[in-house]
Amino acid sequence: MFKSLRNRLILSHTLPFLIIISLMGIAIVYFGETRFLLPELTKQLVSDARFVSTVARDEPQIWVNPADAELFVTQVNPNSLARAMLLTPDGTLLASTQPSDLPFVGKLYNLPNQNDLQSGDSVSIANYSPRLGLEVIDVYFPVTDVNSNLVGIVRMTYLRENVYQEFAQLRSFMSWVLGISLLAGILLGSILALTINRPIKTATQAVFDLAHGDISLQINEKGPEEVRMLLQAVNYLATRLHELENSRKQLLSNLVHELGRPLGALRAAISALQKGAAKDKSTMEEYLLGMDGEAARLQHLLNDLAHVQGQILGTLELNRQPINLHKWLPTVLSPWQAAAEEKNIYWDVFLPADLPALIADPDRLAQAIGNLTSNAIKFTPPGRKVTVSAGMFGGEVWLRVSDDGPGISQDEIDKIFVPFYRGKHGGRIPQGMGLGLGIARELIHAHRGRLEVKSEPGEGSQFTIWLPLSTSYPQR
């Protein structure tokens, strides 16, 4: 019954109501009966006894004639719930309004605090524990003559069953309050349980739907803060799965394109060599050189994909070591200078001699620089220029790659770092997997640096690597 969260929430709201209100009801009934109702009944009984004793003072015959005494208590008793008795000064019963007391007429009663009665003071006794006797409240009021001599005693009594009638009203009221409070607790618990249970069931169903391939769903985020956070997490998961699915499809499409082109070239060269091109040494060397270039491009593609997998799995590690930038950068840039010259692009490098030495991963940093220079060469038309420069400013080392390419629009600057995204770049045919810039930025971030981009359509692009000097030391 209580396996579901809804039932447990209802119980969690109902049980405190049931326990707390029950205990409070018992306490209120007890204090109401002992501290309010019983004292009020005692006061009322004292007032009635005073009235009866005042009337009895003017009826002296009732103390000597039992018939007159019986008639008197029958007519003068102002409270039909109370039992009225007339007693002689020594405690002998003369008359009573209770028919069951008739056999005891003429019998002697033990009077409490008889000295007080003899001196003319009233005596009140309130007994909350009815197991001690039938009388719950007793009031003894002395009756004196004109000479202040005690002639009799008026006894007014609330019996147990009569007092219970008064108590029953209070207990009935508290029972109603308890019942209504319990129903209110159940209703409130049910409403709160539904407001929590429904979103959780929705989120659970959404997770099952995601597991079965429905990655386009979005849940209305409402409810308590914690539930909204859960629904936000499910929506974020759905969004990320949707993005990953689109990336997967784009990756497959790009792989078909990027692998198909060099593989087609390799097969064509192999076929030509098989058909006799290998007989001409210069032709064979040319084909082999082209095949090596295509194989190098395939290797570069595999390296990029391996880096992306490392990002996803969180396995990217840096092998930091001292790097003399002034000596190291020319060796990193020389292959790209050859690629630029092969494309008839002007290549300029400005490296000051006072560049500091960095503590960095030379292979990873070279990969980032290579991705930036490759991108610059790729989109710079022949006859234009690519410039690489470096320096220090504000406690940081910077390395800048500038090109005279078509530039990038402002709405695409952030997108160019997204894996598999390939912009139009001024109408040129997109090339590559769209991984290079994103990988370069991640590698720079791994070195606690940053990558800035400045570009305008038609005015070229400028990519600047900034590395903090906290990862460097002065060159000796």
DSSP string of 84-153, one letter each residue: EEEE-TT-BEEEES-GGGGGGTTPBPPPTTHHHHHTT--EEEE-S-GGG-SEEEEEEEEEE-TT--EEEE
Split at pLDDT 50, 70, 90, the class of 466 is very high
Query: Cβ-count burial of 38 within 10 angstroms (0-12 exposed, 13-18 middle, 19+ buried)?
Result: buried
Ranked by mean pLDDT, the top range of 84-88, 120-124, 221-225, 300-304 is 84-88
pTM score above 0.75: no
Chain segment 4-18, per-residue pLDDT in tens:
666 666 666 666 666
Retrieve residue 1's tokens: 């019954």
Per-range mean pLDDT, top range of 68-82, 176-190, 207-221, 320-334: 320-334
For residue 450, the cross-strand partners are 466
The whole-angstrom separation of Cα 128 and Cα 111 is 20
Name the residue with tokens 């030379």. 362
Return the amino acid letter for 239: T
Measure CA 146 to chain center.
Answer: 84
What is the rounded CA–CA span in Å between residue 445 and residue 174? 70
User: CATH fold of 321-473, please?
Assistant: Heat Shock Protein 90 (3.30.565)
CATH fold for domain 5-168: Beta-Lactamase (3.30.450)
Two tokens, residue 458: 């038609």
Q: 43-94 pLDDT, tens per residue?
A: 888 888 888 888 888 888 888 888 888 888 888 877 667 888 898 888 888 9
Residue 359 makes CB contacts below 8 A (sequence gap 6+) with 320, 321, 322, 323, 471, 472, 473
Q: Phi then psi for 310, rounded to 5 degrees?
A: -65, -35
Token pair for 10: 């209802």
Q: What is the CATH number that goes with domain 225-313?
A: 1.10.287.130
Edge-to-edge strand ranges of the sheet holding 461-468:
346-350, 385-393, 396-403, 461-468, 450-455
Q: Counting every residue, how long is the chain?
A: 476
Give me the mean pLDDT over the 120-130 stretch.
63
Rounded to an integer, what distance in angstroms lies between the CA atom of residue 462 and that of residue 33?
90
Do the domains at 225-313 and 321-473 have one common CATH topology? Answer: no
Report the share of the chain in percent with pLDDT over 90.
Answer: 5
CA 191 to chain CA mean position, Å: 19
For residue 169, which of 360, 36, 22, 341 has the smallest C-alpha distance?
36
CA max distance for the chain: 161
139 beta partners: 124, 156
**What are the residue ranges spanned by the domains of the chain?**
5-168, 225-313, 321-473
Q: What is the mean pLDDT of residues 105-125?
A: 76
User: What is the spatial order of strands in the sheet that 357-360 belongs to?
Assistant: 321-324, 357-360, 472-473
Check residue 465 and give its pLDDT. Answer: 93
pLDDT of 391 over the 80 cut? yes
